């Protein structure tokens, strides 16, 4: 876990130069009569690259103390814009926690989003130095960048479960595995045996956890797995009808209203013919749904708030360890493993799209008895 942030002294020692030389290279401003060879400059720049050192002018003015600024970096354009407000709730939670903690928030937005992804590479590393630590948010993170932050001991917390070698990466996540298992159990308890999963099978952590929850619960109940490709909503609805499924778990990247409309176009009413459970809020809310959906919700505001509190505690611990005399315990108390990896429950939604399993399943050809 984060312990020590590299300083100019560390860079100077690695490059075999004085700290003033490092400062001259960083500022690219030599006093009269001072010369730095290309070879020396290259050694300093290589040491900066290896350590990930970022000059922090605010912290320098405070003589090494905290500047009470924490950052937020998003890997996608994630905050409210019109109806696309899934990520906005995280920011609301962060803001409330920041107000209680008495810290300022700095939103890092200078890196352009290219092909849906933003990177910390190049100038991003230097900009992070303006904050004591940073919250990271988004589905399309760069794993190499996260490992680099860990290696350089820069304090950060990811909003969302993320795995790393040696479980070093601190996060506050939503327990998608348990929440998805509960949805299967809700359906099975109501007599459903033909339960499908509609969603992508990509490698991002939330998707992997939802799929794991579905697989575990279905195997526990002795039910076969049924995945449905819904890249094309109309074709997906037709497949669901042809396979006589009576219930679907719908991942948040799917337009759930469009899927329900397509199913009803095939004569399958929701929830009388087919139950639909949402596995969290849709990623992009284009409009207010006319349905009261069943499923579970992601505690986004709480995740944002808890992540900021954890980040603040990590920074406090790092600062205390830096100031504590050798041989004495730092204050505040050292964080334990559970603090660094927090998983929050996802509350169930009752809604109106869940019903007892029908005794028959409706298909385009007519009514066929469910013989699952």
Contact 205, 261 (CB under 8 A): no
Element (H, E) at 198: strand 195-198
Helices and strands, counts by H and E, the chain: 13, 14
Give 80's contacts (C-beta < 8 A, 6+ positions apart): 87, 88, 91
Give 82's contacts (C-beta < 8 A, 6+ positions apart): none
d(CA 80, CA 248): 29
Please report the pLDDT score of residue 149 as a whole number. Answer: 83
Please report the pLDDT score of residue 272 as a whole number. Answer: 95
What phi and psi, each to the nearest 5 degrees, are found at residue 59?
Answer: -65, -35
d(CA 367, CA 362): 5
d(CA 248, CA 353): 10
> pLDDT in tens for each of the 372 residues of the chain?
444 567 788 888 888 888 888 877 877 667 777 788 889 989 988 888 787 776 654 444 344 456 688 999 988 776 655 545 678 889 999 999 999 999 999 988 777 666 667 777 655 666 777 888 999 998 878 888 888 888 878 899 999 999 877 778 999 999 999 999 999 999 999 999 999 999 988 888 999 999 999 999 999 999 999 999 998 999 999 999 999 999 999 999 999 999 999 999 999 999 999 999 999 987 655 556 789 999 999 999 999 999 999 999 998 887 766 554 554 444 555 788 789 999 999 999 999 999 999 985 444 444 444 433
> Tens digits of per-residue pLDDT, 103-142?
999 988 777 666 667 777 655 666 777 888 999 998 878 8
User: What sign for the dihedral angle of Cα 14, 17, 23, 27?
Assistant: negative
> Which domains does the chain possess?
8-173+301-344 (3.40.50.2300), 176-297+348-369 (3.40.50.2300)
Supply the pTM of this predicted model.
Answer: 0.76
Give 296's contacts (C-beta < 8 A, 6+ positions apart): 179, 180, 182, 183, 277, 278, 279, 280, 346, 347, 348, 349
**Burial track 252-268 (b if 16+ CB lie within 10 A, e otherwise):** bbbbbbebbebbeebeb
* Terminal CA-CA length for the chain: 50
d(CA 130, CA 132): 7
Please report the pLDDT score of residue 280 as a whole number. Answer: 94
Give SS3 for 343. strand
> Tens digits of per-residue pLDDT, 334-351?
788 789 999 999 999 999
Please report the pLDDT score of residue 63 as a whole number. Answer: 40
Please report the pLDDT score of residue 57 as a whole number. Answer: 47
d(CA 360, CA 352): 20
Element (H, E) at 276: strand 275-279
Contact 269, 355 (CB under 8 A): no
Contact 5, 154 (CB under 8 A): yes
How far from the centroid of its chain's Cα atoms is residue 212's Cα? 17
User: What sign for the dihedral angle of Cα 97, 103, 108, 109?
Assistant: positive
DSSP state, residue 76: S
């Amino acid at each position: 876990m984060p312990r020590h942030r590299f300083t100019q002294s560390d860079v100077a020692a690695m490059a075999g130069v004085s700290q003033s030389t490092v400062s001259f290279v960083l500022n690219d401003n030599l006093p009269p009569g001072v010369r730095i060879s290309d070879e020396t400059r290259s050694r300093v720049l290589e040491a900066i690259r290896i350590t990930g050192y970022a000059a922090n002018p605010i912290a320098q003015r405070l003589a090494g103390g905290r500047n009470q600024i924490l950052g937020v970096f998003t890997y996608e354009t994630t905050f409210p814009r019109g109806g696309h407000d899934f990520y906005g709730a995280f920011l609301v939670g962060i803001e409330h926690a920041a107000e209680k903690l008495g810290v300022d928030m700095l939103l890092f937005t200078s890196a352009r989003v290219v092909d849906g992804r933003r990177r910390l590479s190049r100038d991003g590393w230097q900009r992070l130095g303006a904050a004591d630590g940073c919250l990271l948010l988004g589905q399309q993170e760069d794993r190499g960048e996260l490992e680099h932050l860990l290696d350089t001991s820069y304090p950060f917390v990811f909003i969302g479960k993320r795995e790393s070698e040696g479980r070093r990466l601190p996060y506050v996540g939503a327990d998608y595995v348990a929440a998805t298992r509960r949805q299967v159990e809700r359906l099975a308890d109501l007599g459903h045996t033909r339960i499908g999963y509609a969603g992508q099978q990509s490698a991002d952590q939330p998707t992997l956890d939802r799929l794991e929850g579905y697989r575990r619960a279905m195997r526990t109940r002795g039910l076969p797995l049924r995945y449905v490709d819904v890249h094309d909503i109309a074709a997906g609805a037709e497949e669901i009808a042809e396979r006589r499924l009576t219930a679907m778990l719908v991942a948040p990247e799917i337009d759930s209203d469009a899927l329900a409309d397509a199913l009803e176009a095939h004569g399958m009413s929701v929830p009388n013919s087919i139950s639909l459970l949402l596995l969290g809020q849709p990623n992009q809310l284009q409009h207010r749904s006319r349905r009261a959906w069943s499923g579970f919700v992601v505690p986004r505001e709480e995740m944002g708030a808890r992540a900021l509190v954890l980040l603040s505690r990590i920074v406090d611990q790092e600062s205390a360890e830096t100031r504590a005399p050798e041989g004495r315990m730092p204050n505040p108390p050292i964080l334990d493993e559970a603090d660094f990896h927090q998983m929050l429950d996802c509350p169930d939604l009752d809604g109106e799209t869940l019903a007892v399993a029908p005794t028959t399943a409706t298909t385009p050809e007519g009514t066929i008895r469910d013989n699952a």
